[in-house]
Amino acid sequence: MRKYLIFIGVALVSTFSVWAQERVYVSTDKDVYVAGEDLWFSVYCIDESTGKFSNGSDMAYLQFVSREGVAATQKVALIGGRGCGVFQVPLEFGTGNYSIVSYTKCDGGDAVTEFDGKIISVFNTVTARRVKDGVTVGAVVPGSGHLEQSGDVSVKVGEVKDGKARVRIENKSGELMRLNVSVYHADKLVKLSGSYNNTSLLERKGDFEKVDEVDYAGEVMDVKVVGKDGSSCSGKFLYMSAMGGDGEVFVNQIGEDGVVRFNTGNVMGRRDLVFDVRESSMSVLEGASANDTASAYNVEVLEPMYKRMVKEIPKLTISKEMDKALRERGRRMQISRRFVSDTIMDSWMKKDHSFVGNTPPLVYNLDEYTRFPNLEETLREYVQFARVREVDGKPQIKVIWGAQGACLTLVDGVPVSDHATILGLDQQLVKQIAVYPRRYQLNHFVYEGVVNFVTYKGNMGGIRLPKNVSIVTFDGASWPLAFTGGHAASAEYYPNFLSTIYWNPVVDIPAGEAYEFDCVLPLYGGEFRVVVEGMLPCAQEVYAVRLFDGK
């Protein structure tokens, strides 16, 4: 029988020069938000030595900085220097202006110069909290809210028909344009907030000390492990997995300083990471030993902290004139949050970093079969390649495909070495069983197949984890999403009161060609603004704005 060998978790050697300078530029769907709204972003990572998109880092970082300091950090997965995502403005954000500092880990140490980031204005309509020394009350001087046009690009909006507006963007240059496109409601709040952005896309930057660490295949994570009694964990092995995944599993040996490094693929979204400490390499391959369940550990994901300096952030001017506009925007935000669903969003491509690769498993949806009293009978009667054998008086799940060594057993993507615990699951809680009848390698450990038991709720079916297992909530990279409005329009009973009604973070228009789309209007009228921002080759900026009446 033919054998397959996939190597994952080994050190990755990047051809990306450690001397290259990466610049990260960020564009957002609009400039003015209320806390609780979605902030859509598009990221451009440029190798300054060539002026082209960088293939070095696979992760960029956005920090939202107010006059009080760093308020939040958002991670962005990159593919060929481009990335995107969505960040829900936290209700903890006080009213005020925020500067967005953007960088990669390679060029993201302590600040050397002030960062001149894009300014966004946030109004908190649910609490009275304000950024300290960040708000002033007085007369507002309305601003245009946008910069002057740059680049040879044309934006046209056709007549509104059947609740849609046809938008056409023409590339009149002789080169490929790489853009993001936003359409949002230019309400009174936008007009009264003025424009705090006096820098263009390519001017939004600053210098940092070089770290010379590259998130080459995904985020590089350092994890500190110490015994609950303060004892050293040096030499032991640590599994890390993301609950709810199907192959986000990593294993490595803990160093003398108690730190273990994982060269991961990008873990997406807010996830529960499960850490399983094993005593030795044999316990990794053959399952938990008695010592593995006798000790408890403190596990901490180390997030590097660097000094940030930003160009002086202007105070946000507020006035009584904004009251009605704030109430209306706040009401729409709350309606949208109540009915929000990922199904109205559009997914952009992301890399598959699962250690099982792109090979599809044999999937058994148990609802399609007659349910047996227990999982062992289900495996025997229905599931090809997976069988239960008794080893040293204990049940062991094996993948029978030509080799019968140790297999990796997962429940909702989390390794569980005690197969008796898995077989004791209430099979009514198990949605499907996925079998990978091939050889896989995690770091330098080889497994003869993988079996993943997926529960309906994704909570491991209530399995009680041993003492050597810790769970840590972790914020990974933002899911790469867009919002083009089509799914929202087709969703029955969805009340579309969103402020941003169209957002496409990655639009490539070849020379002399055009990009057209239908913009679905929301359940309210008013004036709308089309904003196009991006780059030509060799980092030349493109920017254009067009207003239209969406009656």
DSSP string, 490-506: HSTT-----SEEEEEEE
Is the confidence at residue 13, as pLDDT, over 90? no
The burial of 307, by beta-carbon neighbours within 10 Å (0-12 exposed, 13-18 middle, 19 or more buried), is given as exposed
CA nearest neighbour of 402 among 439, 376, 433, 362: 439
* Residue at token pair 């569980």: 416
User: For the chain, which residues make up each domain, given as ranges?
Assistant: 22-208+306-350+480-549, 220-303+352-475
List pLDDT tens digits, range 469-524: 999 999 999 999 999 887 766 666 677 788 999 999 999 999 999 999 999 898 88
Average pLDDT, the chain: 88
In one-letter notation, the amino acid at residue 323 is D
Tokens describing residue 546 = 């067009």
| Sequence-separated (6 or more) residues with CB below 8 Å from residue 413 | 241, 242, 243, 244, 245, 246, 247, 248, 249, 452
What is the rounded average pLDDT of the residues 197-223?
90
Is the confidence at residue 220, as pLDDT, over 90? yes
Whole-angstrom distance, CA of residue 354 vs CA of residue 448: 17
What is the rounded average pLDDT of the residues 212-230?
91
List pLDDT tens digits, range 238-253: 999 999 877 788 999 9
How distant, in Å, are the alpha carbons of 7, 62, 436, 477 from that of 16?
21, 22, 34, 22
What is the rounded average pLDDT of the residues 426-455?
90
pLDDT of residue 120: 95
Total residues belonging to the chain:
551
DSSP E strands: which ranges in 38-94?
Answer: 38-47, 52-53, 59-66, 69-77, 82-88
Kind of pairing, strands 22-28 and 96-104?
unpaired
By the 8 A CB rule, do 520 and 486 touch?
yes
